Amino acid sequence: MAYIERNQRSGRRALLAIITGLLFLFLIYGFIRLQILERDKYTERSLNNSVRKIEKLPVRGLILDRDGDILVDNRPAFVIAVVPREITPEAIEFAARVSAVSVAEIKAKMKAEFGFHPIVIARDVTYEQVVAIEENSLDYPGLLVRVESKRYYPEEIFSPHIFGTIGEVTEAEIKENSFYQSGDLIGKNGLEKVYDTELRGEQGIQFKRVNASGKILGDFDSPLNTSGKHGSDLFLALDYDLQAFAESLFVDRLGSLVAIDPRDGSVLAMVTKPDYDPRLLAGQIRPEIWQSLLNDKTHPLYNRSIQNGYPPGSTYKIVAAIAALQEKLITPAWSATCPGYFQLGRRTIHCWNLKGHGTLDLQGAIKNSCNVYFFKLGLKIGLDTWAKYSQLFGFGSRTGIDLPNESKGLVPTREYYNRRYGVNGWTSGHLANLAIGQGELLTTPLQIAQFVTILANRGFYYSPHLTDHFYEYDPPQIIDYQTERMEVPGIDADVYEVVLEGMRQVMAGGTGRQGKVEGIEMAGKTGTAQNPHGKSHAWFMAFAPFVNPEIAIAVILENSGGGGANAAPLARKVLEKHFFGHEIIKPVFIKSGLDSLIDQAEPEAFPFPEIQPIQIVPNIGDN
């Protein structure tokens, strides 16, 4: 019996020891969870009773040109914000009265946030509104004023399509990127969007002591405090003196100009007109201004340099010439006679020079931009070969420039025509039209600028880019934009030389001579593209000097007539500014008969087949 009692006591002691051990282990786990595993969470809960986490907004990086001149700066601006965990119904009513934002809008903004993160309800508020909030802060807890950066543009700076805008992050953008928080300002388009991560920097955190009503009493020294990171400054390859001068030439004009340094792909100037004053979309945007821009029939919000698709006109004859030479379909001496028209079945197709050019070889046809020669050449090439060489030179594809929403343009292929017209629904007339840069073919001004860059380099190029380098503050360092040399495959050197000689003659005495810069040997090509909505579009592309080129340029002027008479002189002024620092004022001279013909030249095409409108959606050509 004593033995049994001893065993029972021993069992009870063992059970007690096990229970005590388990309790001890539970306490150890609780200690580890409290002090180690979830230390930050419980620390934050504890701090929230008397300490408030204040987010330190980073300073957004500047945007500067190649000379270090500031193009986009920052200025302080006040915002009104509410703290959901502290705000009272009375404070919401007061905030609505002061900020001119409805109670319903304020509550809608607060739906996604229930903590101490401030929700911005009004931006870019006046000094009087700030005073009203501060004077009543004790009576209305959870209502506060913050300071953030607002983009500022020096007086002489415009170019909104390059820089873009910043705006408040949307719920959809927050879902896509958890890095964003409600109320954050992020890049919405242009360079601001492409380089938002680099420009915006990193947010810091500062803990402050607060009283029961949320009033800040002073700093709280916490190891969780962080200083944040200044946004990187963005230095552009852009020559803004050249940019501003080029923009000044587009007063009352619609169109685009793109100038590229062929040695590395740097964009020296990119003009798109019409545009708008970037100050209108900095800070609080007035609804009537936004609606006015949206409803403007000239589409000032649209970046014509990279989003508009245009038939390239006779600038595209160079693609046909290269395709025919490289495929050995012709020699440079192959000639055709132009009586001023071309008979295609029962259709009579007219050259822009109704008197005819006579008999021309390839270089003569390029020099004089003879339609009849290239009608015949297009029929020899065939659609598949034409499309192949178009795509080799990047048409129908994005260039990869560091701007959003770039269009691919459109290169019609056999598949495209079969899909659109049916297998037997299209004819050789379509191809004749494509050979002179008309029809369904659509290109962007940037694609034409890249094309002339490839010609300038005799086959190689770099993706066009606006960025030169970034300056990072922490640690201080320069991050260069990385470029990669690319080659157009399968084009012989002698093919380039034949075509470039024809383009040199264009500038020396052909249709492009009004674009020639005195004292500098150049190569170029004019174009006049038919426009079903009005007067023809004027095109011009060129590079200079002919040997060791340092600038390539493409210009389109909408509804302006002949390319040689209108686009070429404008491009010449920009080239003179680039080479000499100023425009050269030429003396007035009496025009020759050919000059008058060039001035009056209507579309270098015929109205067959159907021509597409000039504007296209950013992703046209995807199908």
Pairwise pLDDT comparison (535 vs 618), residue with the higher score: 535
Q: Look up tokens 């065939």; give the residue.
A: 382
Strongest mean pLDDT among 12-16, 27-31, 57-61: 57-61
Mean pLDDT (the chain) is 87
What pLDDT, in 10s, does the model give residues 363-412?
A: 999 999 999 999 999 999 999 999 999 999 999 999 999 999 999 999 99
What pLDDT, in 10s, does the model give residues 544-563?
A: 999 999 999 999 999 999 99
Residues 420-446 have a mean pLDDT of 90
Task: Note whether 377 and 335 are within 8 A (CB).
Answer: no
Pick the CATH number of 244-472+481-600 from 3.30.930.10, 3.40.30.10, 3.40.710.10, 3.40.50.2300: 3.40.710.10
User: 305: pLDDT confidence band, cut at 50, 70 and 90?
Assistant: very high
CA atoms within a 13 Å half-sphere pointing along the CA-CB vector of 22: 5
User: 36: pLDDT confidence band, cut at 50, 70 and 90?
Assistant: low
CA atoms within a 13 Å half-sphere pointing along the CA-CB vector of 224: 17
Q: Look up tokens 């579009």; give the residue.
A: 537
Q: What share of the chain is helix, strand, coil (3-state, %, to 5)?
A: 40, 20, 40
Residues 415-428 have a mean pLDDT of 89
- Indicate if the pLDDT at residue 612 is higher than 80: no
- Indicate if the pLDDT at residue 112 is higher than 60: yes
Strands 63-64 and 233-236: parallel
Contact partners, residue 284, CB within 8 Å, separation at least 6: 122, 123, 124, 125
The SS3 assignment for 23 reads: helix
Q: Look up tokens 């000059």; give the residue.
A: 595
Amino acid at 589: F
Instruction: Identify the pLDDT of residue 47.
Output: 54
User: 623: pLDDT confidence band, cut at 50, 70 and 90?
Assistant: very low
- Indicate if the pLDDT at residue 619 is higher than 70: no
User: 413: pLDDT confidence band, cut at 50, 70 and 90?
Assistant: very high
| Domains in the chain: boundaries | 2-37, 53-235, 244-472+481-600
Q: What is the CATH number of domain 53-235?
A: 3.90.1310.10
Instruction: Identify the pLDDT of residue 207.
Output: 73
Percent of the chain topping pLDDT 90: 64
Instruction: Identify the pLDDT of residue 49.
Output: 58
Residues 202-224 have a mean pLDDT of 71
Instruction: Identify the pLDDT of residue 425.
Output: 85
Amino acid at 209: R
Residues 416-431 have a mean pLDDT of 88
- Indicate if the pLDDT at residue 269 is higher than 70: yes
Residues 42-65 have a mean pLDDT of 75
What pLDDT, in 10s, does the model give residues 567-580?
A: 999 999 999 999 99
User: 180: pLDDT confidence band, cut at 50, 70 and 90?
Assistant: confident
Whole-number Å distance between alpha carbons of 555 and 573: 12
Instruction: Identify the pLDDT of residue 616.
Output: 38
- Indicate if the pLDDT at residue 441 is higher than 80: yes
Whole-number Å distance between alpha carbons of 441 and 173: 35
Residues 56-79 have a mean pLDDT of 94
Residues 291-309 have a mean pLDDT of 95
